Amino acid sequence: MFRRIFEKKSVLVREGIFVDVAEHIEPGPGEERISAAGLWMGPGLVDIHLHIESSMTYPGEFSRAVLPHGTCTAVADPHEIANVFGIEGIRAFMASPAEMDIFYGLPSSVPATGSHLETTGGTIGPEEIAALAPCNQVVCLGEVMNFRELRAEGDNRTKQILRAFARLRPRFPVEGHCPRISGPDLSAFIASGVWADHTQQTPALMLEKISKGMFIELQRKSLHEEIIRTVIDHKLFEHIALVTDDVLPDDLVRGHLNLLVKRAVSLGMRPEDAVYCASFTPSRHMGLRDRGSIAPGRIGDFILLEDLETLAIASVYKRGVKVNPAAFPGEEGPAFPPHFYTSVKRKPLSAADFRPPLPEGFSGGTARCVTLGIEAASTFTRRGRAECPVRDGKLQWQEKGLALIAVIERYGHEAPLGFGLGEGILRGSGAIATSWAHDHHNILVLGSNEADMALAANRVITQQGGFVVVNQGRITGNIRLDIGGISSSEPMKTLAESVRLAREAMRELGYQNQNELMSLSTLSLLVSPEIKMSDKGLVDVGTQELIGLFEDVD
C-alpha cells in the first residue's frame, strides 16, 4: 500500500488486526483461511469529510448504508444537527451506535455567520469546543467557514474557537471551507491554522492551495478531467484525498466513496492511486495511522474487488469480519430524546403571509428588486435585478416570471419572514418547502403562487420537518424528516424512494440543477457565493451583510 502497487501476497488478520503480510502464510490452529484468488485487495475506504445529516439520516442507519460500499471509517462534521440542537445534538450523534467507525470534527461555524444574519436553534462557541475536544471520537476541528471573522480586526468567536481547540488538541487538523479564495486572502486563511479545503476546485486554485501547504479534499463536483490530469502531472497524490461531503439517500443506495474512486479511475487515475487517495492519505491527514493501509499493526478493514476496470466490490471486511448487511441490527429507528422529534415550532401560515412588505411610504408603480439566480452545475448563485409592477399595495412579482423565496424562522420566535425573488428557477405552478435548509435549517419556501407556498410550508410544520413539493394545490413529493427537521428515522431504502420522487416532482415544476435538492437547500447557505437567503432576508455572501429586497423605487 505504501508503494501504491498491487502485489500477490498472503495477509494474516488476528483479532481484527493485520499481523502479517508475506508471500505465504500458514493459518494457525482454529484460524480460517479465506481464498481471494482472482480478486484484488485494498484497505477499507476512509472518508474524512462528510455530513451524516446531508444523507438525511442518523449515524446507525448511515453506517448500515455505506459499510457494504466499502467505507469502513468516516470523519463526520455534525454542524447540521448542532445548528438545531447545539452541543446536545453533537453529543447525541456521538452516542448513537454504528457498525462502522465514526469519528467527529467539532463544528466551528454554528451558526455559519452570526446571529445578526441568521437564527439557529443552537450555537457553538469556545466553551462548547472546550467541553467536547477531549472526547476520544474527536479528531479535528470541523470546517471553518466564516472567512470574514478570521480576517477581521480584534477578537471574535471564530478566533476564540480556533484558540480553544489548539490549546486542547494541538497539532490536530483544522478543516476549511474557502471557495474562490486566493492570493493574500488565502495565505491569511492558512496562516490562521486552517490547513485543508474541500470546496469546488479549479486546477489553478488547487495548485495554489497545495503550494501554500493546504491538504485538498476532492469531492464529486471537483472530479473532472482537468483536475485529475493536474493531480497526475504534478504528482499530487500525497496532498489530496477523495471525500463525499454530501450524499443524498437516492445516491447513497447506489454507492458512496467507492463511486468517487471509480470516477477518478475513469478520468485517468490509476486504480492503485485512486484507492490510495481514498484510504491511506485521508487516514494520515487525520492522524488515524492505525488504518488506511494493509500492514502489520493496522486495523483489519479491507475490501475485495472483482476487477480493476469496474472496481466492483465483491465483499467488505470490518476488523477481519465479513460485512453481512442481513445480519445488521434491526432497523427500528434511533433513540433520541423526545424533543428531537418536536423541534419545528411555528404556527401555520396563510397565503397572505407570503406577501413581501413594500418599503415604508412607498406609493409608486414600479419597484426595482434584487433577484437571485441559480447555477445549473453548482450550488453557487448570482445576483440580478428586476423591475416589478406594484398595484393595490402588492408587489406583482409573478408578472415578471419570478419565483418568491421566503425563509420562515422555526425555533419558536414567530419572527417575520425573510423574502427574496428567484429568477429563472421555477417554470410550473407550485411550491417547494423544506426545513432541510443549510445551515440554519429554518423553513425555506420557493414558489410561483402564495397558496401553494402556504400549503407546502404548513405540511413541513405539521409533520415536524421535511421536504415538500406542491404542484397546483396537490402534494407531489414529501420527504419526512422527523429528527430535528433534518434527518429521518426511516430505513435508507424507504427514504431513498421518497427523495427520488421529490426530485421528479421538482423537475416537473421546472427546477433545473444537477442536484436539485442540494441546490435548493443551499439557497440559505450564507457562506456559499454569491447571494443567499436567511430568515433575516437577503445576504451578500462576499460582504456578509444584509441587503434589501428593493434596490430603489419610483
547 with 462, same domain: the answer is yes
* Number of structural domains found in the chain: 2
Tell me the pLDDT of the chain averaged across its residues: 94
Residue 54 CA, distance from chain mean position: 5
What would the 3-class secondary structure string for 71-106 be? EEEEEECCHHHHHHHCHHHHHHHHHCCCCCEEEEEE
To which H or E segment does residue 227 belong? helix 225-233
C-alpha span between 223 and 203 (Å, rounded): 11
Q: Within a domain: residue 317?
A: no
Residue identified by cell 485512486 is: 274
> pLDDT higher for 2 or 322?
322
414 with 549, same domain: the answer is yes
Rounded to the nearest 10°, the torsion over CA 241, 311, 269, 42 is 50
Q: Within a domain: residue 282?
A: yes
Q: Within a domain: residue 161?
A: yes
382 with 276, same domain: the answer is no
Give the pLDDT band of residue 376 (cuts 50, 70, 90). Answer: confident
223 with 96, same domain: the answer is yes
Percent residues over pLDDT 90 in the chain: 84
272 with 420, same domain: the answer is no
347 with 270, same domain: the answer is no
Of the candidates 433, 479, 485, the one whose C-alpha atom is nearest the C-alpha of residue 120 is: 485
Q: Within a domain: residue 311?
A: no
Q: What is the predicted pLDDT for the residue at 361?
A: 83
What's the predicted TM-score (pTM) here? 0.94
Of the candidates 490, 483, 492, the one whose C-alpha atom is nearest the C-alpha of residue 92 is: 483
Q: Is the pLDDT of residue 146 over 90?
A: no
To which H or E segment does residue 492 belong? helix 492-508
C-alpha span between 494 and 482 (Å, rounded): 14
- For residue 307, say if its preceding peptide bond is cis, omega within 30 degrees of 0: no
Assess contact for 433 and 443: CB atoms under 8 A: yes
pLDDT digits (tens, 9 = 90+) for 174-230: 999 988 889 999 999 999 999 999 998 999 999 999 999 999 999 999 999 999 999
Q: What is the predicted pLDDT for the residue at 1?
A: 60
Q: Within a domain: residue 72?
A: yes
**Residue type for position 522:** T
Residue 369 CA, distance from chain mean position: 31
> What CATH number does the domain containing 264 carry?
3.20.20.140
Which segment of 102-106, 111-115, 373-377 scores lowest on mean pLDDT? 373-377
79 with 154, same domain: the answer is yes
pLDDT digits (tens, 9 = 90+) for 506-523: 999 999 888 999 999 999
Q: What is the predicted pLDDT for the residue at 554?
A: 47
Residue identified by cell 488515524 is: 288
Q: Within a domain: residue 488?
A: yes
Provide CB contacts within 8 A for 7, sequence distance 6+: none
C-alpha span between 437 and 173 (Å, rounded): 27
162 with 226, same domain: the answer is yes
Q: What is the mean pLDDT of residues 67-76?
A: 98
Tally the C-alpha atoms within 13 A of residue 479's C-alpha that lie toward its C-beta. Answer: 35
Tally the C-alpha atoms within 13 A of residue 120's C-alpha that lie toward its C-beta. Answer: 29
Q: What is the predicted pLDDT for the residue at 328?
A: 79
Buried b / exposed e over 23-45, threshold 16 CB at 10 Å, is eeeeeeeeeeeeeeeeebbbbbb
Give the pLDDT band of residue 331 (cuts 50, 70, 90). Answer: low
Which segment, 2-11, 272-281, 370-379, is predicted with the most confidence on average?
272-281
Q: What is the mean pLDDT of residues 14-22?
A: 95
277 with 394, same domain: the answer is no
Cα(first)–Cα(last) distance of the chain, in Å? 69
The phi, psi pair for 517, rounded to 5°, reads -65, -45
Q: What is the predicted pLDDT for the residue at 27?
A: 84
Percent residues over pLDDT 70 in the chain: 99
110 with 168, same domain: the answer is yes
Q: Within a domain: residue 76?
A: yes
Q: What is the mean pLDDT of residues 413-435?
A: 95
83 with 169, same domain: the answer is yes
Q: Is the pLDDT of residue 544 over 80?
A: yes
CA torsion sign for 82, 496, 310, 291 is: positive
C-alpha span between 178 and 187 (Å, rounded): 11
Give the pLDDT band of residue 32 (cuts 50, 70, 90). Answer: confident
- For residue 111, say if its preceding peptide bond is cis, omega within 30 degrees of 0: yes
Burial class of residue 145 (count of CB atoms within 10 Å of its CB; 0-12, 13-18, 19+): buried
C-alpha span between 522 and 380 (Å, rounded): 8
Q: Is the pLDDT of residue 406 over 50?
A: yes
52 with 127, same domain: the answer is yes
C-alpha span between 393 and 411 (Å, rounded): 30
139 is in which domain, residue-wise?
43-293
- For residue 225, say if its preceding peptide bond is cis, omega within 30 degrees of 0: no
Q: Mapping DSSP to helix (H, G, I), strand (E, B) and coil, where does residue 537 land?
A: strand
Give the pLDDT band of residue 31 (cuts 50, 70, 90). Answer: confident
Q: Within a domain: residue 323?
A: no
C-alpha span between 243 and 218 (Å, rounded): 6
